[in-house]
Amino acid sequence: MFIPSLTHETGAVLTVSDWASIDVKLASCDLSDLLLKPGIEVLKQINNLKTYWHWPGELVLNARTLLNNVAEQCVIRSKYDGKILTFTYEQILSLIQHLSPDYVALPAYLVSLTEQAYPDILMKSVEYDENNKSGTDALQGLIYTSSNQNMLCITDKKYAMDFSVMDESCACPACADGFTRAYFHHLYVHTPLLCQRWLVMHNQWMTNQMFV
């Protein structure tokens, strides 16, 4: 299955209400991102992952991006300052258990340890593919359509006077409210952050329909 990541840069564009408005009930969080911000000490103090996100649906905690070293530690390089953070396997598995996600995606090197000491975590193990491309495209002004054209670039000047919606078959909030390509062309140029929020919702809705 393909699901969006709340901790990816595109996931952070939307609020929980925005995700609900496009009928996304299953999402993921990258454990590497959470260990960088808010950090392990904060994570250990929250009740569970869904409480932290105020997420009403189901969550996958993705630990597959955690690398390991010869000292059998999980290693993360901070994307903020380049600092190397290390955690013991026990710290990571204990944290996963505490966060109590609905599902967990584990790296291979943690599976055998999980079988022995944390069988309840292994029972939540799942294989899936994150899909952040629709959001990444939206941030660049690329809009998904159901026509043979498949995708259009809203920054193209030819859309400056195009008063049709992004896609007639789309029921995302932007298309349902009748916002036009001309509007989003103007918005992307002058208020890009607001525009990107609408476009991410549109592209994610169109992506959802591919897997209905």
Name residues of the chain where pLDDT drops below 70.
1-2, 148-149, 211-212
Omega cis (within 30) before 119:
no
- And the tokens for 37? 């911000």
**Mean pLDDT over each residue of the chain, to the nearest integer:** 92
Cβ count near 102 (within 10 Å) = 15
Q: Which residues contact 31 (CB under 8 A, 6 or more apart)?
A: 61, 62, 63, 65, 66, 92, 95, 96
As to burial, measured by CB atoms within 10 angstroms (0-12 exposed, 13-18 middle, 19+ buried), residue 37 is exposed
In the DSSP assignment, the letter for residue 37 is I
In the DSSP assignment, the letter for residue 36 is I
Contact between 95 and 44 under an 8 Å Cβ cutoff? The reply is yes
Contact between 96 and 104 under an 8 Å Cβ cutoff? The reply is yes
As to burial, measured by CB atoms within 10 angstroms (0-12 exposed, 13-18 middle, 19+ buried), residue 75 is middle
Beta strand 2-3 with 73-77: parallel, antiparallel or unpaired? Answer: unpaired
Which amino acid, residue 157? Answer: K
* Helix, strand, or coil (residue 201): helix
Helix (H) or strand (E) holding 27, with range, is strand 26-30
Full-prediction pTM beyond 0.75? yes
Q: What is d(CA 88, CA 28) in angstroms, rounded to the nearest whole number?
A: 23
Q: What is d(CA 58, CA 38) in angstroms, rounded to the nearest whole number?
A: 21
Contact between 159 and 181 under an 8 Å Cβ cutoff? The reply is yes
As to burial, measured by CB atoms within 10 angstroms (0-12 exposed, 13-18 middle, 19+ buried), residue 26 is middle
What is the pLDDT at residue 177?
96
What is the pLDDT at residue 152?
94
What is the pLDDT at residue 34?
97
